[in-house]
Amino acid sequence: MTRLTRRYKFSASHRLHSAAMSDEENSELYGKCNNPFGHGHNYVLEVTVRGPVNAESGRVVGIGKLDAYVEREVIRHFDHKDMNRDVPDFVDLVPTTENLSVIVEKRLRRDWSSSFGTASLDAVRVQETKRNLFELRDL
């Protein structure tokens, strides 16, 4: 099996605030990320695909096809959006990058098998800052 990783970028804003906790607890847990008016990040999304190399194309998956799929299922729903308000997935979910990674994986999963056949989704990584990277692997 060969793994192919493709990297994408999008910019979005969020505010980390959990309705299950008091204002003081939110402030203590999330720090600056709890500021009332939110803040933005330039996220880097890495999608890893695992599969056999196709004998005719010499590829695990068509890169153009993967790009179009990730754009349609993920990027256009998040890029230049306020995640708390514009992205329905976060109506009742704190838009931490842990949760964002799970939502991205779910969205990629929706139509995956009919689009990519034998190639499987292997890992999803979302980098929020130079110091924060979140990963779902062994999918």
Q: What angle do CA 72, 119, 55 make, to 5 degrees?
A: 120
Number of residues in contact with Ni ion, rule: CB under 5 A?
Answer: 1
Choose between 33 and 108: whose C-beta lies nearer to Ni ion.
33
Q: How far is the CB of 123 from Ni ion (least distance, A)?
A: 22
Instruction: Name the DSSP class of 54.
Output: P
Judged by CB under 5 A, the stretch of 2-10, 25-33, 59-67, 82-90 that binds Ni ion is 25-33
> Binding of Ni ion at residue 33 (CB under 5 A)?
yes
Q: How far is the CB of 1 from Ni ion (least distance, A)?
A: 35
> Binding of Ni ion at residue 83 (CB under 5 A)?
no
> Would you say 78 and 10 are in contact if contact means Cβ atoms under 8 Å apart?
yes
71 is catalytic: no
Helices and strands: H and E segment counts in the chain? 6, 5
135 is catalytic: no
Choose between 33 and 126: whose C-beta lies nearer to Ni ion.
33
Distance between CA atoms of residues 59 and 27, nearest Å = 48
Q: How far is the CB of 33 from Ni ion (least distance, A)?
A: 4
Query: Could you tell me the sign of the dihedral formed by the alpha carbons of 85, 92, 131, 26, in that order?
Result: positive
77 is catalytic: no
From the list 58, 95, 77, 86, the residue with the least C-alpha distance to 8 is 77
Interface positions with Ni ion (CB under 5 A): 33
Task: Kindly list the catalytic residues.
Answer: 33, 80, 128
